[in-house]
Amino acid sequence: MRMVKFLAFLAVLGMIFGFGPYPAAAKTTFITIGTGGVTGVYYPAGGAISRMINKKKDVYHIRATVESTAGSVFNINAVMSGDLEFGIAQSDRQYQAYNGLAEWKGKPQKNLRAVFALHPEAVTLVAAVDSGIKKFADLKGKKVNIGNPGSGQRQNSIDALTINGIDWKKDIKAEGLKAAEAPGMLQDGRIDAFFYTVGHPSGAIKEATAGTRKVMFIAIPNVDKLCKKFPYYAPAYVPVKFYPQALNKEDVPTFGVKATFVTRADMPDDIVYAITKEIFENLDAFKKLHPAFEVLTKKNMLEGLSAPIHPGALKYYKEAGLIK
């Protein structure tokens, strides 16, 4: 209490003698970034962003923290409700939320705003070799984790199954586990396969391939047909170099989305500008914070943004000549 009174006294002196507010009283803005499971890439991605911002706390007066969450759908809903300031979400989920599709059917989230895109994410299908799953059609009758409600990957899994004529409610025994739980369940023999939409390398996928139960990645067919139906998807592949214990010898074809950094329309422009500027102007340092970021360029970080770009981010992009 004495310290509060002392600071107030200094502030009054400042106003009387004209030397401005006491420097220590500079207002700090606290922000929380919603990520995903701790074994995915969202959590370290949020951590990387927060570390870079916190390093400049004396410049920006922003303190960032990260929260492990259920993923894309949860993050978008929490950002829109004000429970989070920023979140990481798949590009397809950004598109669906803004346009009132999927979980947001009839309730378009028109105050959702894009900031920038991050790493590409491949829809990765991991199967135990002893389950008899050698190709995608072999999933029929098997116990397959499609992802927990509230995650972006759940819809990706359903889309992959549907385009290939597999009814996820009838043709497989669908599980709704969180991504972090799936590798252990696979190794314990409690599921036969799991989908995971993730940037590579992934801690969860490394865990799945490093156990005593041998596993392999399964290619997803009809990707061109899927991408034509859903324009937010793009062809991708699983890079097997990161997972030497998997039985695959070559990269595995699949499809993917992008991880995107989102906020809401009423987030102050100066906060969004500061975060955008810090990441883009120190991109080389940022890329070293996780192997999944190696492919990032200033150009591809503006791809996959289907909600309007927040004015704070747009201000920086125009200043930097990235957007005219």
Extents of the domains making up the chain: 2-120+258-319, 121-257
Bridge partners of 263, per DSSP, are 113
Over the stretch 147-194, which tens digit does the pLDDT of each residue have? 999 888 999 999 999 999 999 999 999 999 999 999 999 999 999 999
Closest CA to 65 of 76, 75, 54: 54
Over the stretch 229-275, which tens digit does the pLDDT of each residue have? 998 898 999 999 999 999 999 999 999 999 999 999 999 999 999 99
Q: CB atoms < 10 A from the CB of 321, how many?
A: 8
Closest CA to 152 of 238, 230, 209, 225: 230
Per 3-state DSSP, the chain is made up of helix, strand and coil in percentages (nearest 5) of 45, 20, 35
Q: Which CATH number applies to 121-257: 3.30.70.20, 3.30.830.10, 1.10.1270.20, 3.40.190.10?
A: 3.40.190.10
Helix, strand, or coil (residue 263): strand
The CA-atom distances, in angstroms, between 77 and each of 80, 103, 131, 159, 248 are 5, 10, 37, 22, 38
- Is 121-257 in the same CATH topology as 2-120+258-319? yes
Q: Pull the structure tokens for residue 303.
A: 């791809």
- Tell me the percentage of the chain whose pLDDT exceeds 90: 83
Q: Is the pLDDT of residue 23 over 80?
A: no
Closest CA to 85 of 64, 59, 100: 64
pTM for this prediction: 0.81
The CA angle 96-101-104, to the nearest 5 degrees, is: 95
CA gap 200, 206 in Å, rounded: 10
- Tell me the percentage of the chain whose pLDDT exceeds 70: 92
Over the stretch 83-106, which tens digit does the pLDDT of each residue have? 999 999 999 999 999 999 989 999
Identify the CATH homologous superfamily for domain 2-120+258-319. Answer: Periplasmic binding protein-like II (3.40.190.10)
Q: Is the pLDDT of residue 19 over 50?
A: no
